[in-house]
Structure 1
Amino acid sequence: MFEHIDFNHLLATYGYLAVFIGCLLEGETILLLGGMAAHQHVLKLLPVIGYASLAGMLGDQLLFWIGRYFGARLLPRLHKQQAVIDRVTQMINQHPAVSIFSVRFLYGMRLVGPMVIGACKVSPLKFTCFNALGAAAWATLFASAGYWAGEFLEGMLGDLKPYRLPIALGVIALMVVFALARHLRARNKAVKSL
């Protein structure tokens, strides 16, 4: 079944769309893969960074507005996220600009953080400006990391073209294992605190 699928053609045709959608939802894994595809000249690095920046910014803008209008009712329902909500609230009260810029880099705060910021009634203009800067820095960092990972793997394996699908699946598997390990560690810590 898979022998007829040209992964390289799919990547070249739908790669930017995949980067945009992936970064709209969460992003790091697809952005690393987008950077690796740019290293292999299947995609171009600047458009990968551009689409990722735009998607990351739009996703956080949406979450900000959800928090601004529905945060008072929504956030109390997120019992499992209370520690994150408290941490983001404290960060916003102490350093609002730094918090807006950096929330996407902090594990566990990527989705809840912009909602909390919106609920804290931060100025929409301030949020938009620092969110755009944070999104551009985030996209540049992760796409570049993927690009240099491609450079490293090419140095080890030679031509990566025959390995593109296994590398993509391997990166996804590693990210899933990493996320699962962090989730289990956080759950164990929560159980121990009871």
Structure 2
Amino acid sequence: METVRALVEQYGLIAIFTGCVAEGESFAILGGFFVHQEILPLAGVFAATFLGSFLGDSMFFMAGRHFTNHPLVMRLRHKRGFSHAYRLVRRHPNIFVLTNRFIYGLRLVGGVAAGMANIPVARFFVLNALSSVIWSTVFVGLGYFFGLGAETLIGDTLRTHHRLLIGLAIGVAAMIIAAVIAHRMAKKEPREPE
């Protein structure tokens, strides 16, 4: 377990940053849990979640803005949820940019849709930064309070090696729940003809 802890301490922030570039809720929650367990520093986890979230959405926005015919962008444009995201961003661009990352399963296609919707670049970056701060605070906070709850339930038996296992279990559970929700949402929205 000391090897696992050393790996988390050494590479945890990189993994959190990388995970938050895409659909990263479970990585942010896991980061918050490791902050509570004093395995990772709060400032580092917050910076990793904020930067990953901000840069990920910015990349997809710029891809939608400048590379609409690229195969990756074309694949995203044909995914379920894209037409819904595009309609929403056209009707309510500011609200969409602020809330898109909170809707699991729409984040990637939503970034491309925002890039195609003629939102001014400067406005997108400001709204994206604000949304990233809120998102990071919410999900890192959730992970922290999961740690607090686990410690209260388990009490003195929560030792270093248990902390890692509980953290990994929280991360896996968050990914499974998010995947089930995304699958159900995708089944509800019919594909539009190409």
**TM-score (norm: length of structure 1):** 0.85
Aligned-partner Cα distance in 1 for 2:182–2:62: 27
What is the number of residues matched between the two proteins?
A: 186
Aligned-partner Cα distance in 1 for 2:127–2:184: 31
* Partner residue in 2 for 1:182: 181
Unaligned runs of 5+ residues in structure 2 are none
Matched residue type, 1:60: D
Aligned-partner Cα distance in 2 for 1:77–1:139: 25
Aligned-partner Cα distance in 2 for 1:77–1:32: 26
Aligned-partner Cα distance in 1 for 2:76–2:43: 40
Structure 1 residue 94: Cα displacement: 2.3
In structure 2, the CA distance between the partners of 1:21 and 1:7, relative to structure 1 (3 Å rule), is same
Structure 1 residue 186: Cα displacement: 4.4
Matched residue type, 1:79: H
Is the counterpart of residue 61 in structure 1 residue 23 in structure 2? no
Aligned-partner Cα distance in 2 for 1:184–1:114: 19
Aligned-partner Cα distance in 2 for 1:28–1:91: 22
Aligned-partner Cα distance in 2 for 1:100–1:107: 14
1:19-168 aligned at under 5 Å gives the runs: 19-71=16-68, 74-75=73-74, 78-81=77-80, 84-158=81-155, 159-168=158-167
Aligned-partner Cα distance in 2 for 1:149–1:76: 36
| Superposition CA RMSD, Å | 2.3
Structure 1 residue 89: Cα displacement: 2.1
Matched residue type, 1:174: A
* Partner residue in 2 for 1:172: 171
CA deviations 1:142-182 (Å, max 9, x no partner) are 00110011001011112342212321332233234324433
In structure 2, the CA distance between the partners of 1:15 and 1:188, relative to structure 1 (3 Å rule), is closer
8 Å contact from structure 1 (residues 153, 160) kept in 2:
no
Matched residue type, 2:4: F
Structure 1 residue 184: Cα displacement: 4.6
Secondary structure of 1:122's counterpart equals coil
8 Å contact from structure 2 (residues 64, 114) kept in 1:
yes
Among the aligned pairs, what percent are the same residue? 31
Is the counterpart of residue 17 in structure 1 residue 14 in structure 2? yes
In structure 2, the CA distance between the partners of 1:76 and 1:16, relative to structure 1 (3 Å rule), is closer
Aligned-partner Cα distance in 2 for 1:152–1:77: 38
In structure 2, the CA distance between the partners of 1:129 and 1:181, relative to structure 1 (3 Å rule), is same
In structure 2, the CA distance between the partners of 1:85 and 1:188, relative to structure 1 (3 Å rule), is closer
Secondary structure of 1:26's counterpart equals coil
Secondary structure of 1:80's counterpart equals coil
Secondary structure of 2:79's counterpart equals helix
Secondary structure of 1:61's counterpart equals helix
- Between 163-172 and 174-183, report the one with greater CA deviation: 174-183
Aligned-partner Cα distance in 1 for 2:120–2:186: 34
